[in-house]
């Protein structure tokens, strides 16, 4: 019996290392074609209103969402230039975090969400807008994840949503978990 308990304990330790804290931060990616659409974006998404200090001080969702947009946009053949200097007629995407909630924890269950809005400009002319929201309860192994990791999962999916929208921008689009958008 001791051998079975020991094996179970070792298995749980190995599993906890495999699960880790989430997807991590994405490496920058570039579109592969020379004919790729280029979009400029700031390195950080500003917070449009006051967000809980535990999120703004402990997590980096305002930079992660930009990195994920860049990463997923490359898969859509869109070159997202972070922090570059656009010319007068270039495409510029302005992204803001308009809400983020980090309720719960690993012990009682995560209840997190992030809501962003984006505006796509060509030069100074507004082309299209969107709002996107994603919610997460931490997933099956949420008990092993930090709050920032769960919020990071939300930003990762928002990055993918935004990249897909950039491929075919529709004005006033609502993306992701639209029921959270007011």
CA distances from 80 to 3, 29, 63, 72 (A): 54, 9, 14, 10
Closest-CA residue to 39 (of 119, 152, 153):
119
**For residues 10-27, average pLDDT:** 41
pLDDT of residue 117: 97
Residue 85 CA neighbour count, 13 Å, CB half: 0
pLDDT of residue 36: 79
Name the token pair of 54: 């535990």
Task: Please check whether residue 5 lies inside any domain of the structure.
Answer: no
Q: Categorize the per-residue pLDDT at 116 as very low, low, confident or very high, splitting at 50, 70 and 90.
A: very high
For the chain, percent of residues with pLDDT exceeding 90: 60
pLDDT of residue 33: 59
Task: Please check whether residue 11 lies inside any domain of the structure.
Answer: no
Burial of 133 (0-12, 13-18, 19+ CB in 10 A): buried
CATH number for position 123: 3.30.160.150
Q: Categorize the per-residue pLDDT at 23 as very low, low, confident or very high, splitting at 50, 70 and 90.
A: very low
Tell me: the pLDDT tens digits for 138-178?
Answer: 655 555 567 788 899 999 999 999 999 999 999 999 999 99
Domain count, the chain: 1
CA–CA separation, 116 vs 100, rounded Å? 9
Whether residue 31 is predicted with pLDDT greater than 50 in this model: the reply is yes
pLDDT of residue 101: 85
Q: What integer best gives the mean pLDDT of the chain?
A: 82
pLDDT of residue 126: 98
Task: Please check whether residue 87 lies inside any domain of the structure.
Answer: yes
Whether residue 12 is predicted with pLDDT greater than 60 in this model: the reply is no
φ, ψ of residue 44 in degrees (nearest 5): -130, 140
Task: Please check whether residue 77 lies inside any domain of the structure.
Answer: yes
Closest-CA residue to 133 (of 90, 84, 89, 99):
99
Task: Please check whether residue 13 lies inside any domain of the structure.
Answer: no
Task: Please check whether residue 133 lies inside any domain of the structure.
Answer: yes
Task: Please check whether residue 166 lies inside any domain of the structure.
Answer: yes
pTM value surpassing 0.85: no
Domain of residue 92, residue span? 23-180
Task: Please check whether residue 83 lies inside any domain of the structure.
Answer: yes
């Amino acid at each position: 019996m001791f051998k079975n308990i020991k094996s179970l304990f070792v298995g749980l330790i190995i599993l906890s290392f495999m699960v880790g804290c989430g997807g991590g931060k994405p490496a920058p990616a570039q579109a592969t074609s020379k004919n790729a659409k280029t979009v400029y974006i700031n390195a950080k998404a500003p917070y449009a209103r006051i967000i809980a200090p535990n999120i703004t001080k402990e997590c980096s969702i305002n930079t992660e969402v930009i990195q994920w947009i860049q990463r997923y946009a490359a898969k859509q053949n869109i070159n997202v230039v972070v922090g570059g200097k656009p010319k007068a007629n270039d495409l510029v995407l302005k992204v803001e975090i308009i809400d983020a909630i980090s309720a719960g924890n690993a012990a009682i269950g995560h209840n997190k969400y992030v809501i962003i809005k984006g505006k796509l400009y060509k030069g100074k002319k507004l082309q299209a807008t969107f709002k996107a929201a994603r919610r997460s309860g931490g997933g099956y192994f949420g008990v092993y994840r930090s709050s920032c990791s769960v919020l990071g999962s939300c930003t990762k999916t928002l990055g993918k949503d935004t990249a897909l929208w950039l491929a075919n921008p529709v004005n006033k689009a609502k993306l992701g978990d639209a029921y959270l958008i007011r």
